[in-house]
Amino acid sequence: MAKKKLKIGVIFGGRSGEHEVSIVSAQSVMKALDKNKYDVIPIGITKEGKWIAGSQAVDFLKDGMKKLPFKSVIVPDPTEKGLISVKDSNLAKIKEPKQSFAKLDVIFPVMHGTYGEDGKLQGLLEMANIAYVGPDVLGSALGMDKIVQKQLFAQQHLPIVKYDWFLTTKWQTDRNNILKRLEKKLVYPMFTKPANTGSSVGVGKCHNRKELIAGIAEAMQYDRKIIVEQGIENISEIEVAVLGNDQPRASVPGEIVPGNEFYDYDAKYVDGNSQAIIPAKLPANLIKEIQAAAVLGFKTLDLAGMARVDFFVVKNTKKIYINEVNTIPGFTSISMYPKLWAASGIPYPELLDRLIKLAIQRFEQKNKFATSYQPKQDWYK
């Protein structure tokens, strides 16, 4: 007897500076999912936050159309566990997809950045009681916030670069003192970053005060919390993929050789001039040290399913620094996460299978816990 296919909703797009990257990642995931095992339902979210599900979702997001022919949204009602169609008579009439959206077995979020990777979408899925790939609300939020990440890593004695941070409201009232503090604590070059973005959106490398001020202004467009990190020269950028729930494992490390001055957005996705070396050419003892740090970082933030952990390695001393964690890493054809696991013996389709199984395991574990308590008296009545 044929095994019933799982309905997998792949969510992408969203209100994020990484909207375009998300679409490309989702297309790659949907193409690689085994159609003999899964019914794949694309779920696109526009830059304005409008939802659309079905085979036309990718085209609508790519075309940037303002009027959607129909909407299908996930509601927080756990008895629905799926997509609800929302019709609007003012929208252009178009035939809705034939797929039944009654129930979804697993959601595969491929929404990088804000409103997708930071715990907000995960909160909705928890309310809806639908299994999903990746960390829960807390892990996602911690994995997104570069400042809190570093604070927790420091508690675990994981090596981090020097940094400082401030709120944009403080910058507006105390700019000169913040600049003095940064220049006393750090030396140029420095990196300015929004605390809660990925794909190097809003990141700047600053060689002097003028560039520092400009970098902070750029970062402030994306977040209310700004982090400024010490730049380190003569380094290798190393990335490790982590897979698992309570017993995660790390892939072989890979090295990124940026085509630009640093691994910015254009170097990652646009220019095509960066190089990935997989596996990274590192001594065996250093590889073990990096893998152990990646797993510890994963556990420290209470992550689940997947994450890519990024490191700096000083070339002459071989000292490592954990840079940051990405809880929904890129899944494009050139993305490191799937390529690292392929080099570690897990091809792309099998990797997706494992991530879905991990999501179901975590879901089943959570649903064994009690959600109500019966007091000895109905005192609240």
Amino acid at the residue 171: W
Cα distance between residue 101 and residue 41, in whole Å = 8
Peptide bond into 338 cis (omega under 30): no
The CA distances from residue 82 to 33, 42, 187, 331, in Å, are 20, 13, 52, 24
Q: Which pLDDT score is estimated for 271?
A: 44
Q: Long-range contacts of range 154-158, CB-CB < 8 Å, 24 or more positions apart?
A: 155/300, 156/296, 156/297, 156/300, 158/293, 158/296, 158/297, 158/300, 158/322
Q: Which pLDDT score is estimated for 102?
A: 57
Rounded (10°) CA dihedral 301, 147, 314, 182: -170
Cβ-proximal residues to 89 (8 Å cutoff; 6+ apart), any chain: none
Q: Which pLDDT score is estimated for 272?
A: 55
Residue extent(s) of CATH 3.30.1490.20 domains in the chain: 162-230
Cα–Cα nearest to 229, from 194, 197, 268: 194
14 DSSP assignment: -
Residues in the chain, pLDDT under 50:
89-100, 260, 263-265, 267-271
Residue extent(s) of CATH 3.40.50.20 domains in the chain: 6-132
Reading phi first (left if > 0) and then psi (alpha if -120 to 50, else beta), residue 115 is in left
Cβ-proximal residues to 111 (8 Å cutoff; 6+ apart), any chain: 11, 12, 13, 14, 16, 22, 45, 117, 121, 328
Q: Which pLDDT score is estimated for 103?
A: 85
Tokens 């797929």 correspond to what residue? Answer: 99
The answer to whether 187 and 163 have CB atoms below 8 angstroms apart is no
Element (H, E) at 122: helix 120-128
Q: Is the dihedral of CA 244, 359, 139, 113 positive or negative?
A: positive
pLDDT tens digit sequence for 159-197? 999 999 999 999 999 999 999 999 999 999 999 999 987
* DSSP secondary structure, 226-264, as one string: EEEEE--SSEEEEEEEEEESSS-EE---EEEE-SSSS--
* DSSP secondary structure, 29-62, as one string: HHHHS-TTTEEEEEEEE-TT--EEESTTHHHHHH
Q: Which pLDDT score is estimated for 92?
A: 42
3-state DSSP assignment of residue 191 = strand
Q: Spelled out in words, what is the top-level CATH class assigned to the domain 162-230? A: alpha beta
Tokens 């299994």 correspond to what residue? Answer: 131
Residue extent(s) of CATH 3.30.470.20 domains in the chain: 235-349
Q: Is the dihedral of CA 265, 266, 267, 268 positive or negative?
A: positive
Cα distance between residue 192 and residue 202, in whole Å = 8
> 6-132: which CATH number, 3.40.1180.10, 3.40.50.20, 3.30.365.10, 3.40.190.80?
3.40.50.20
For residue 168, what are its two tokens?
A: 């944009």
Q: Which pLDDT score is estimated for 59?
A: 86
Q: Which pLDDT score is estimated for 98?
A: 46
Q: Which pLDDT score is estimated for 68?
A: 62
For the chain, give percent helix, strand, coil, nearest 5.
35, 25, 45
Cα distance between residue 37 and residue 85, in whole Å = 25
Q: Spelled out in words, what is the top-level CATH class assigned to the domain 235-349? A: alpha beta
Strand ranges of the sheet holding 225-230, from the earlier edge strand across to the other edge? 163-167, 225-230, 190-194, 204-206
Q: Which pLDDT score is estimated for 263?
A: 47
